[in-house]
């Protein structure tokens, strides 16, 4: 969970502790939980993808080869990932 999401979760928990039970209305939150889970998965995949691109570059793979695997142009791959993998 990112810091922002963690802070929002903390604020929501604080609200839940302070709210009057008579003011509560039951809500189906399944779709929201699914969104949160998918965002978490996306964060994990983004990290794994950056690691794989970094490994490919360390193995002397070209940006053209990496771009082909990403389904984008060489320029798009470099523009999106070059600075991120060197940090």
Q: pLDDT 10s per residue in the chain (87 long)?
A: 567 888 998 998 998 888 888 888 888 899 999 999 999 999 999 999 999 999 999 999 999 999 999 999 999 999 999 999 986
Tokens coding 62 = 């070209």
Give the C-alpha separation, 62 to 42, whole Å. 25
Class of residue 57 by CB neighbours under 10 A (exposed 0-12, middle 13-18, buried 19+)? middle
Nearest to 50 by CA among 87, 20, 21, 75: 87
Q: Domain total for the chain?
A: 1
Host domain of residue 60: 3-86
> Using an 8 Å Cβ cutoff, are 57 and 85 in contact?
yes
**pTM for this one?**
0.66
């Amino acid at each position: 969970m990112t810091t922002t999401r963690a802070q929002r979760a903390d604020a929501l928990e604080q609200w839940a502790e302070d709210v009057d039970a008579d003011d509560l209305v039951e809500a189906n939150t399944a779709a929201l939980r699914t969104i949160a889970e998918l965002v978490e998965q996306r964060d994990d995949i983004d990290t794994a993808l950056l690691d794989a691109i970094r490994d490919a570059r360390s193995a002397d793979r070209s940006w053209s080869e990496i771009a082909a695997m990403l389904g984008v142009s060489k320029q798009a791959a470099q523009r999106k990932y070059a600075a991120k993998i060197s940090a």
